[in-house]
Amino acid sequence: MTPPRVFIVDDHAMVRAGVRAELGTDVTVVGEAPDVPAAVEGIRATRPDVVLLDVHLPGGGGLAVLETLRSELPDVRWLALSVSDAAEDVIAVIRAGARGYVTKTISGPDLVAAVHRVADGDVVFSPRLAGFVLDAFSAAGAASPEPAEEATDPGLDLLSTREREVMQLLARGYTYREIGSRLFISVKTVESHASNVLRKLQLSNRNELTRWAATNRLL
């Protein structure tokens, strides 16, 4: 298996160098960019498998890069890598199409594993992202007594019991493998649950998430 080709987008040269060093030889870094225009140009030119995308960038943030290239380059996979804990930034990048979110404090081997997982088409949930997701969907679920807005697509706006369990275990720091053995399901099933949750996050009724953001003082 050829190592995944990775493009690093971050406005701090030190961070780019650090990430490059941590990725090591299991991953081929094909380019890096410090801002939005350079990232758009570089990603168009190199067509990487995975883009490591900083959420906060001069010139519109990682969101701008994603929105520019998402429909143009559907084969590129995106992994948000940020120091920001602000939930609205993270959720916005996920909703724009990123396949996962990890914080910059992640260890080198974990980062490599996350890149491989995203390159294989899976999703990457850090405990913090799982927490954000649970927060978002529990707020949406708690708001169900209002039928007018709930009627749009109830199936999309709520997590199944199993999906919620998977998210809770992820938030508790379990790996996919540990979750599988805990719930007596295969790792593949855990992965598909995680993908479903990500899809629900991306497709679910915007109102619910807006309200969640409002109740969390994020707007």
Instruction: Name the site residues for other proteins (rule: CB under 8 A).
Output: 84-86, 105, 127-128, 130-131, 134-135, 138, 142, 168, 171-174, 217
Distance between the two ends of the chain, CA-based, in angstroms?
44
One DSSP character per residue, 184-216 reads T--HHHHHHHHHHHHHHHHHS-HHHHHHHHHHT
CB closer to other proteins, 74 vs 145: 145
Smallest separation, CB 105 to other proteins (Å): 8
Smallest separation, CB 93 to other proteins (Å): 16
Smallest separation, CB 159 to other proteins (Å): 12
Q: Strands 50-53, 77-82: parallel, antiparallel or unpaired by DSSP? A: parallel
Q: Are 116 and 46 in contact (CB under 8 A)?
A: no
CB closer to other proteins, 73 vs 134: 134
CB closer to other proteins, 172 vs 206: 172
Smallest separation, CB 191 to other proteins (Å): 20
* ∠ Cα 208 212 213 (to 5°): 120
Q: Residue 4 carries which DSSP code?
A: P
CB closer to other proteins, 168 vs 205: 168
By CB neighbour count within 10 A (0-12 exposed, 13-18 middle, 19+ buried), where does 206 fall? exposed
CB closer to other proteins, 207 vs 216: 216
Smallest separation, CB 110 to other proteins (Å): 11
